[in-house]
Amino acid sequence: MPTLWIKNARVIDPAAKRDAVGDVFVKNGRIAASLSATEKKRAKVIDATGLVACPGLVDVHVHFREPGQTHKETIATGTRAAAAGGFTTVVCMPNTTPPASNSGTIQFINDAIKRDAVVHVYPTGCITVDMKGEALAPIGSLARAGVVAITDDGDCVQSNELMRRACEYAKMFNLPLMDHCQDHSMTVGAVMNEGEVSTRLGLRGWPNAAEDIIVSRNVILSTYTGAHIHMQHISSQNAVEILRRAKARGIRVTAEATPHHIALTDAALGTYNTHFKMNPPLRTEEDRQAIIAGIKDGTIDIIATDHAPHTNYEKDKEFDFAPNGILGLETALPVTLGVLVREAKMKLPRVIDLMTRQPAALLGLPAGTLAPDAVADVCLFDPDEKWTYDAGAGFSKSSNSPWNGATLRGRVKATIVSGKLVYDGKRILE
């Protein structure tokens, strides 16, 4: 494994409160405080003048579709898309076919990760058996199989009693619960946000209340059981306020926002483009601004992509029948920078923190820092470079992105995983 000397970068490491032009050293797959004169002579030098060097990005919410849906994505293609987006650690959701609700399926996923992944991948397990919401999955055996959290993401446990018991078991095994907050009784047949735009387009609306009710339920259950419940892809301004009040009381709840929910609104659906169809749906400008405010004041803890690949023939249907979900890994950094740094005027180190240290800490992952002896996971990016995103030429197996053809600002130039350069700004290096 080569020794690396990354020179003249703006080094941003929120975990160490470091933000200065300097060097990063990599030796034996780990971050080194320094190199000897002899080691510097032998090191592979990366001139990072004008670039930002930060810990490899961490995404706790991706769908890699393996097993059973490999026509959409695989561990191999998904991790290559992650590397191209600057991500070195990702957490994959269990809504595969079959769902990851037993240790055998987790073992299958771990075998695929070991064989095919180019970044670090951690699996989650289901809350309920086969994600049917009827009986608890064997949470203890899932924990022993190596899951880092439990979730029925893509669905939501509707039974409050079942969710209560899940909280008790998750706390027992020190596992966070990650919840997709959706009251199914309020979203039957719904395909987009309920409001002026849905009325004008003649599409069935999806009210904020469907999210707000479950967020409230989860706050109550966390209060009651002491379990850590993480709210996935928050989209409602009311949900942000519910979480803000809960956190002020010290309740063990956390939340994430996606790049698409901070960048887009339901106005984007005017042409019935299914690449803007997602769950939860894009909401109003008021909701978008509330989410940004929640990020700024710490109510929302992290950015996560909800990377959800679908084939062109699945998305190329009438709006009502197309599946929910979009790609996110290769565009997350520039989209997030555009909204939080350039629009919301947040400091770059704070935004990097939302995508590195904080998501790693949320699930206790060994990532998110450039401290000496840490695993050498590094992202190098140019925060100002403009480029046109071509989803069809990306590294994912699918191309369902609302940013296809868009000009983005901020581009990943290199991704280093465990001391190995796996992406050089153009290619994945095997």
Asked if 307 and 328 touch (Cβ cutoff 8 Å), the reply is yes
Q: 50 phi and psi, to 5 degrees?
A: 85, -5
CB crowding 269-306: b at 16 or more within 10 Å, else e: beeeebbbbbbbbbbbeebbebbbbbbeeebbbbbbbb
Omega of the bond leading into 334 within 30 degrees of 0 (cis): no
Could you tell me the maximum CA-CA distance found in the chain, to the nearest angstrom?
70
- Retrieve residue 10's tokens: 């703006």
Single out the residue of 244, 261, 349 nearest to residue 297, CA to CA: 244
Report DSSP letters for 81-117, one per residue: HHHHTTEEEEEE-S-SSS-S-SHHHHHHHHHHHHHH-
Find all residues with CB under 8 Å of 86, minimum gap 6, and list them: 56, 57, 333, 379, 381, 412, 415
Return d(Cα 255, Cα 134) in angstroms, integer.
Answer: 25
* 402: alpha, beta or left? (left if phi > 0; alpha if psi -120 to 50): alpha
**What value, to the nearest 5°, has the Cα angle with vertex 402 and ends 400 and 403?**
110
Task: Tell me 62's DSSP state.
Answer: E
**Crossing angle for the helix pair 209-225 and 160-172, to the nearest 10 degrees:** 50
- Retrieve residue 312's tokens: 């062109």
Omega of the bond leading into 280 within 30 degrees of 0 (cis): yes
Q: Is 424 a catalytic residue?
A: no
- Retrieve residue 417's tokens: 């995983």
Q: Indicate which residue of 301, 306, 353, 377 is catalytic.
A: 306
Find all residues with CB under 8 Å of 50, minimum gap 6, and list them: 382
Which helix (H) or strand (E) segment holds residue 408: the answer is strand 407-417
Return d(Cα 273, Cα 242) in angstroms, integer.
Answer: 32
Q: 88 phi and psi, to 5 degrees?
A: -115, -10
Which of the residues are catalytic? 306
